């Protein structure tokens, strides 16, 4: 009977072991986390950053010069002030040899922002003075414009200095009717400018006042700038 008893024990042991093993596997399977396999979804084409080839490049506008017709009473100085460019730029672009003479109806090229247009034009440069080391350039005053002829409130003479600095004390400005304006003690540096107004007013470093009660400049009249030694330095004829 011993062998039958051993067979019974072995059968019960196998059943218990199998039951325990199945219970452990069920418990482990119920507690573990499922493995999630991620999938990548491509972005739509519209959300992708643009490439250089797809960008719209807007070209900058190319500046073009302005053609201006000279009117009666105008000078290069007044035209330069009107367009905000320098007189020298207008002279260079148009090849003007005598900046004191422009004619009514003459067409001028006005460079944009003071720069000449693309075509290369020939012009005569202003004379230069060769200096010895340590020597200051002599003054080179020029009457650039007589503005608003016949209007006392706005009539004025524009004077610039293209040379070395100068003290204007003793210099005089004259018209053809022997009216004489004597400059006060004022310094005019190289590249500087000063306006001599016909009417009365308070002098500043850029604006001087003749003190007249009536307009005095007319078309075709010549303004003469004389140095303290009585020598004519420059003349200008109003157009």
Mean pLDDT by 10 residues, the chain (239 residues): 72 80 76 58 57 52 71 83 84 80 83 50 50 68 92 94 92 94 92 93 93 93 94 92
Total domain count, the chain: 2
Query: Do 92 and 155 belong to one domain?
Result: no
Query: Do 145 and 102 belong to one domain?
Result: no
Number of residues written out for the chain: 239
Query: Do 158 and 219 belong to one domain?
Result: yes
Residue 76, in any domain of the structure: yes
Residue 225, in any domain of the structure: yes
Query: Do 173 and 95 belong to one domain?
Result: no
Residue 21, in any domain of the structure: no
Q: In CATH, what number is assigned to the domain containing residue 71? A: 3.10.350.10
Residue 45, in any domain of the structure: no
Residue 48, in any domain of the structure: no
Residue 130, in any domain of the structure: no
Q: Write down the pLDDT at residue 118.
A: 43
Query: Do 93 and 147 belong to one domain?
Result: no
Query: Do 90 and 159 belong to one domain?
Result: no
Q: The pTM is what?
A: 0.47
Tell me the C-alpha distance between 175 and 149, whole Å.
13
Query: Do 106 and 162 belong to one domain?
Result: no
Residue 80, in any domain of the structure: yes
Q: Write down the pLDDT at residue 38.
A: 54
Query: Do 232 and 149 belong to one domain?
Result: yes
DSSP string, the chain: -HHHHHHHHHHHHHHHHHHHHHHHHHHHHHHSPPPP---PPPPPGGGSPPPGGGS---PPPPP--EEEE--TT--HHHHHHHHT--HHHHHHHHT-S-TT---TT-EEEE-GGG---SS----PPPP-----TT-PPPP-EEEEEEESTT-TTT-EEEEEE-SS-EE-TT-EEE-TT--EEE--S-EE-TT-EEEEEEE-----SSEEEEEESS----TT-EEEEE-TTS-EEEEEE--
| Domain span at 87 | 66-114
Query: Do 224 and 163 belong to one domain?
Result: yes
Tell me the C-alpha distance between 164 and 158, whole Å.
18
Q: Write down the pLDDT at residue 25.
A: 79
Query: Do 77 and 156 belong to one domain?
Result: no
Q: In CATH, what number is assigned to the domain containing residue 156? A: 2.60.40.1260
Q: Write down the pLDDT at residue 16.
A: 79
Residue 104, in any domain of the structure: yes
Tell me the C-alpha distance between 96 and 80, whole Å.
14
Query: Do 106 and 154 belong to one domain?
Result: no
Query: Do 93 and 173 belong to one domain?
Result: no
| Radius of gyration, CA atoms only, the chain | 46
């Amino acid at each position: 009977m011993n062998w039958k008893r051993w067979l019974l024990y072995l059968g019960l042991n196998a059943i218990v072991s199998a039951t325990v093993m199945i219970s452990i596997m069920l418990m482990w399977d119920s507690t573990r986390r499922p493995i999630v396999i991620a999938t990548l979804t491509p972005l739509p084409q519209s959300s992708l950053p643009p490439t250089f080839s797809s960008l719209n490049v807007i070209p900058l506008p190319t500046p073009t010069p302005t053609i201006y017709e000279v009117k009666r009473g105008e000078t290069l100085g007044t035209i330069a002030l009107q367009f905000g460019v320098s007189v020298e730029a207008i002279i260079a672009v148009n090849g003007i040899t005598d900046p004191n003479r422009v004619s009514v109806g003459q067409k001028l090229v006005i460079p944009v922002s003071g720069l000449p247009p693309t075509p290369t034009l020939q012009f005569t440069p202003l004379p230069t003075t060769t200096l010895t080391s340590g020597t200051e350039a002599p003054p080179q005053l020029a009457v650039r414009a007589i503005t608003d002829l016949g209007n006392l409130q706005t009539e004025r003479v524009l004077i610039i200095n293209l040379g070395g600095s100068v003290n204007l004390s003793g210099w005089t400005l004259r018209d053809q009717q022997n009216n004489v304006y004597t400059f006060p003690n004022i310094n005019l540096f190289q590249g500087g400018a000063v306006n001599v107004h016909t009417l009365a007013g308070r002098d500043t470093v850029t604006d001087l006042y003749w003190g007249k009660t009536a307009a005095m400049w007319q078309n075709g009249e010549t303004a003469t700038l004389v140095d303290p030694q009585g020598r004519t330095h420059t003349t200008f004829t109003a157009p």
